[in-house]
């Protein structure tokens, strides 16, 4: 079976401060985030040394924090082709909640925030997206990628994306209740999950693993 690696971008100042970072701002990685991205590349290099990977692809969200992480990973694992950038991999659009902490969102929109926390899959952020919106556009990118991976055990793809993107995709992949995607899954900066894809049920090899 082929291998899909889903990794969250490394640390930014906003993510370190617990602020929503969606599509409306595009900050770079923090200095510590650059070093962490380099460690992610070295860690994935060690993972790939144990896997067949005659065909290796790297994909990224167009957000700067993802492209910087993807560049470090591509160098670390020896990807020779250009990183594929896809708009469908962008983080959830937090709308009016972009840049706010969870407490600030609750203070601004208490009823909407409560509904969103109860079911973020169907409840949208104010002037933004729901988890369902995210999954729809992510599927357009990852469905054909996963079919490509499943066709040959010597194929591997590394996808550098975002917190909500990875969690909704994994929740959907394994048939977990979609309204619980924020509760069931944690995705740390530069954490990665490794999934085997072939005939039948996807196989979990790693889940939110940390860079060495």
Task: Please state, as a whole number, how many other Cβ atoms lie within 10 Å of the Cβ of residue 50.
Answer: 7
- Residue 133, pLDDT score: 98
- Quick check: 199 pLDDT over 80? no
DSSP state for residue 128 in the 8-state scheme: S
* Domain boundaries, position 188: 2-209
Give the pLDDT of residue 200: 83
Domain at 101, CATH number: 3.40.50.1240
The per-residue pLDDT of the chain, averaged, comes to 96
> Whole-angstrom Cα distance, residue 79 to residue 10?
19
What's the whole-model pTM score? 0.96
| The predicted structure's pLDDT at residue 37 | 98
pLDDT of residue 29 exceeding 80: yes
**DSSP summary character for residue 202:** -
Alpha carbon separation from 8 to 69, 122, 155 (Å, rounded):
9, 23, 21
Q: State yes or no: pLDDT of 8 exceeds 90.
A: yes
- pLDDT value for 212: 79
Separation of alpha carbons 183 and 205, rounded Å = 21
Q: Tell me what the mean pLDDT of segment 159-169 comes to.
A: 98
Residues tagged active-site: 9, 91
> In total, how many domains does the chain have?
1
The helix (run of H) or strand (run of E) holding residue 209 is: strand 203-209
């Amino acid at each position: 079976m082929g291998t899909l690696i889903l990794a969250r971008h490394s640390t930014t100042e906003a993510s370190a401060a617990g602020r929503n970072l969606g599509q409306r701002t595009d900050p770079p990685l923090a200095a510590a985030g650059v070093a962490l991205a380099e460690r992610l590349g070295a860690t994935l290099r060690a993972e790939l040394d144990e896997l067949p990977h005659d065909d290796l692809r790297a994909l990224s969200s167009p957000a700067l924090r993802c492209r910087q992480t993807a560049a470090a990973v591509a160098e670390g694992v020896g990807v020779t082709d250009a990183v594929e950038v896809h708009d469908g991999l962008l983080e959830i659009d937090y709308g009016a909640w972009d840049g706010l902490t969870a407490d600030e969102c609750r203070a601004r929109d208490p009823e909407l925030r409560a509904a969103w926390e109860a079911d973020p899959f169907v409840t949208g952020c104010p002037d933004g997206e729901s988890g369902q919106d995210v999954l729809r556009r992510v599927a357009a990118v990852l469905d054909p990628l996963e079919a490509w991976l499943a066709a040959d055990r010597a194929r591997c793809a590394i996808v550098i994306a975002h917190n909500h993107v990875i969690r909704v995709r994994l929740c959907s992949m394994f048939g977990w209740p979609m309204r619980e995607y924020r509760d069931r899954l944690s995705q740390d900066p530069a954490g990665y999950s490794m999934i085997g894809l072939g005939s039948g049920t996807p196989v979990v090899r790693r889940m939110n693993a940390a860079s060495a």
